[in-house]
Amino acid sequence: MAVNWPGLVSIGVFYIIVLGTGIWASRKSKREEKKCSGNRSEVAMVGGRNLNSLCQHLHNDSHLGGRWLYSGYC
């Protein structure tokens, strides 16, 4: 059985690109985390963005609606 060298090389290049993207994103997120005033969990949840109160209320209401819908009360 012969080895498919072009396929093997392309998969290797793909894995290197994925690894490089992960390293780049990790470094970028650490830089952004240092700029933010919140703690680590806040930075992870909202990505360093400040959400206004309307957006926060809509988000919380969507979770409440989902809980009521899937728990059988509606």
pLDDT digits (tens, 9 = 90+) for 10-68: 999 999 999 999 999 888 877 877 776 666 666 666 665 666 667 766 666 666 666 65
Provide the residue ranges of all domains of the chain, joining segments of one domain with +. Answer: 1-35
Higher-scoring residue by pLDDT: 1, 45 = 1
As a whole number of angstroms, the distance between CA 58 and CA 7 comes to: 47
Instruction: Compute the distance between CA of residue 15 and CA of residue 8 in angstroms, rounded to an integer.
Output: 11
pLDDT of the residue at 5: 94
CB-hemisphere CA count at 13 Å for 54?
0
pLDDT at position 25 is 84
Query: pTM for the whole thing?
Result: 0.50
- Name residues whose C-beta falls within 8 Å of residue 36's C-beta, 6 or more positions apart in sequence: 42, 43, 48
